[in-house]
Structure 1
Amino acid sequence: MKTLAKWYKWILLAVIFQFCGLLYVNNVFLNTNVTVSIKDANVSKEVMTGDLKVPGAAMNVSMSYNAEFSAYLLDGVLHIINVDSNDDKGVSGSGKDKITYFRWLPDRNMVIFSSNTRDGKKGTVQISTYEPDSDTLRDYPQIDGLTAESQIMDIELSQYTNVVYAKIKTSDSKSKIIRFNVMSQYAHVMNLGAEALIKECSFVNKLVYQNEGEAVYIYDGINKTKNKVPIDSDNVRVLDIDLNDVLYVGILDSSGNITKIYHQKIGDEKLTDEWTKVDLKTAISPKNIIISGNGNIYSNDTEENKIINLANNLKASYRGDFVEVLDGALVSKDENKVIITSLKEY
């Protein structure tokens, strides 16, 4: 009997421990009511303002998202300037491969760029990234088997999906769209015209594209499908996608100028015909419409050297040639001086 009683005690203790364990898992480990705080690893710094000197022959001058760094091309070399220290460094293009295209990511200090050869070999293009904060240079796998005259015309990189789309012009009338996945493996996606426009979303794996004079489409990189953007006009032009994945499309008049701007957020579902519409007081050339990362819509008056916020008609003047609008700053270039002016009121 004593032996049997001991066995009962051990069985009872085992059941108690098992019950307590299941209770912990259910109420603590699997609790769906726990509030989780997620912080963005990229803490945005306030945009720097002031003047910056660059060589007079510098081409394609542009700033990182917070104006901490500047980049430009000179004789095929990509230069990065630390605005605070004024340190100017040539990071790529000093050998056989001249850099022909670059752009900053819209929310971090990373520049993505390309050359139209690899070790001087034509028909091969190379895409790379450089992070000046850590002095880190990375190469994507080279794309080869192209025509000798092939060149990168645009690179779209989503900072959240890590998917890259590159537009490679292969002739005067054709271009290829190449996609790099998160493993840096590339594949051919589609063929478009040489003047086609492409814009990539940040949060969903979707690419907006438009052949010149044709309708606008969205390519779903997950389902490998495409859908026509529903809009009540046959004469349209893709303008941009902001950092919240809002698509902006301009309605064109017979002269090719924009008279209205439609915008709608791109998500997992298909777009609808429920657009937010902005009527312009005067028709504006597409090249003079600017969409900022936070969704402000500006027009650039090149005759009076002013940008105008189309929502509130506020104006800001600049010296020299317009370069770009950052979120909080207006950038222009006057001879060899880059001028960064605060736009906090916008």
Structure 2
Amino acid sequence: MNNWKKYTLWIIVAVTFQLSTYLYLDRILLAPASSFQTSESDENLVITGKTYYSPNGSYVASVDNTTVKIYALPSKKLVRTINLGTKKVSYFKWLEDRNIALMGLHEDNKDSSKVLLTQINPTRTDEALSTTIEKLPAGSHITDIACSTATNVVYMQVQTVTTPIPLFRVYRIDANYNLQRIYFNTERIGRIGVLFDQDSLIFEDLKKDTILVRHGNGSWRVISPSQGKYRLVGVDGKNNIYIAQLNAQGLAEHLYVGQLGKEFTLNRNFIIPIDPNNLNLADVLSMGK
């Protein structure tokens, strides 16, 4: 019995020694020289204003009436602050394939407005893209931007009239930052989109409830089916064009998908008709998952 007690005692001593050695190695000898955790103030920071998260979750932009602040995530470290001065933000969007954002600003004078499209890199203060359009009708502002990083062509939609009927213009900026206004047979232009690898603008004619394509060479044609009324939902990275067919009340009932040169086919029916303005491509794509 005494031998058994001695044996048990040696086991306890050995285990205690091993645990002590492990704790020493883990918490003292092999502990990092500096902590990689964020500071308590960063972790508890409350980001105010309207927020826009980059697609890969690396950054979040906070936009209010006076500043735009860019924070790195998950640390919430402030990496850029842009003071707006007398300008206001009307549009903000992160590019899908890189941590670059496009921001639309406008500044109102007594009888006119000017709009500014600028590119934001969270880690740099110089702007690779900056385009200004002056002497626009008072109250003009950027409402939509469609671009492809494959073609480096940017289309910018500017609302020039709000009431009684909203009217819009579209401007094209090429890879050399040359700016030109694109003229259509209507100023009631709705949502816009571009093909990924072609300089082709897809847009809505709100007056005729049709979807059209306008190529970089100036040619254009209607691409929506001849029967029915349609709204553009969006264009994905594979050049698939998603359009919604409207019912008599102007609500989206059916979703169609197609490509240039190919017929549109029914993708799904909406159980409950939806306001087409509330449809966006990300939500539509997630419905199929």
Equivalent residue number for residue 13 of structure 2: none
Contact 2:170/2:181 (CA < 8 Å) preserved in 1? Answer: yes
Identify if the C-alpha distance between structure 1 residues 244 and 133 changes in structure 2 by more than 3 Å, giving closer, same or farther.
farther
SS in 1 for 2:136: coil
Which of these residues, 156, 161, 180, is aligned with residue 187 of structure 1?
180
How far apart in 2 are the matches of 1:108 and 1:118? Answer: 32
Equivalent residue number for residue 29 of structure 1: none
SS in 2 for 1:255: coil
Which of these residues, 47, 52, 58, is aligned with residue 62 of structure 1?
52
How far apart in 2 are the matches of 1:166 and 1:52? Answer: 38
Higher relative contact order (CA 8 A, sep 6+): 1
Matching of residue 217 in structure 1 with residue 212 in structure 2: yes
How far apart in 2 are the matches of 1:258 and 1:201? Answer: 23
Amino acid at match of 1:211: D
Contact 1:92/1:99 (CA < 8 Å) preserved in 2? Answer: no
CA offsets per residue over residues 86-135 of structure 1, 9 Å max, x none?
11355434323333321111111000012113999953221110111445
Equivalent residue number for residue 34 of structure 2: none
How far apart in 2 are the matches of 1:96 and 1:274? Answer: 46
Amino acid at match of 2:175: V
Contact 1:207/1:219 (CA < 8 Å) preserved in 2? Answer: yes
If the length of structure 1 is used for normalisation, what is the TM-score? 0.62
Which of these residues, 229, 233, 245, is aligned with residue 227 of structure 2?
233
Question: What is the CA-CA distance between 1:297 and the residue it aligns to?
Answer: 2.6
Which of the pair is proportionally richer in helix?
Answer: 2
Matching of residue 175 in structure 1 with residue 168 in structure 2: yes
How far apart in 2 are the matches of 1:272 and 1:198? Answer: 20
Question: What is the CA-CA distance between 1:52 and the residue it aligns to?
Answer: 9.1
Single out whichever of 164-173 and 94-103 deviates more from structure 2.
94-103
Identify if the C-alpha distance between structure 1 residues 176 and 88 changes in structure 2 by more than 3 Å, giving closer, same or farther.
same
Amino acid at match of 2:176: M
Matching of residue 310 in structure 1 with residue 287 in structure 2: yes
Which of these residues, 54, 63, 66, is aligned with residue 73 of structure 1?
63
Contact 2:257/2:264 (CA < 8 Å) preserved in 1? Answer: no
Equivalent residue number for residue 257 of structure 2: 263
Contact 1:65/1:104 (CA < 8 Å) preserved in 2? Answer: yes
Matching of residue 144 in structure 1 with residue 134 in structure 2: yes
Equivalent residue number for residue 247 of structure 1: 241
If the length of structure 2 is used for normalisation, what is the TM-score? 0.74
Equivalent residue number for residue 88 of structure 1: 78
Identify if the C-alpha distance between structure 1 residues 120 and 87 changes in structure 2 by more than 3 Å, giving closer, same or farther.
farther
RMSD value, Cα: 2.8
Equivalent residue number for residue 27 of structure 2: none
How far apart in 1 are the matches of 2:75 and 2:126? Answer: 19
Identify if the C-alpha distance between structure 1 residues 230 and 118 changes in structure 2 by more than 3 Å, giving closer, same or farther.
closer
Q: Which runs of 4+ in 1 moved over 3 A?
A: 51-56, 118-122, 133-136, 191-195, 287-290
How far apart in 1 are the matches of 2:74 and 2:253? Answer: 41
Question: What is the CA-CA distance between 1:274 and the residue it aligns to?
Answer: 4.7
Question: What is the CA-CA distance between 1:242 and the residue it aligns to?
Answer: 1.1
Equivalent residue number for residue 131 of structure 1: 121
How far apart in 1 are the matches of 2:98 and 2:109? Answer: 29
Amino acid at match of 1:283: P
Equivalent residue number for residue 273 of structure 2: 283
Contact 1:109/1:133 (CA < 8 Å) preserved in 2? Answer: no
Identify if the C-alpha distance between structure 1 residues 274 and 208 changes in structure 2 by more than 3 Å, giving closer, same or farther.
closer
Question: What is the CA-CA distance between 1:75 and the residue it aligns to?
Answer: 1.4
Amino acid at match of 2:232: V
SS in 1 for 2:227: coil
Contact 2:62/2:69 (CA < 8 Å) preserved in 1? Answer: yes
Q: How many residues align?
A: 242
Amino acid at match of 1:219: R
Question: What is the CA-CA distance between 1:155 and the residue it aligns to?
Answer: 1.5
Contact 1:116/1:122 (CA < 8 Å) preserved in 2? Answer: no
CA offsets per residue over residues 227-274 of structure 1, 9 Å max, x none?
1014153211110111222110011112222221111134xxxx3325
SS in 1 for 2:201: strand
Which structure has the larger Rg over C-alpha atoms? 2
How far apart in 2 are the matches of 1:151 and 1:66? Answer: 28
CA offsets per residue over residues 146-175 of structure 1, 9 Å max, x none?
223211111222111110111111112322
Equivalent residue number for residue 153 of structure 2: 163
How far apart in 2 are the matches of 1:146 and 1:137? Answer: 23
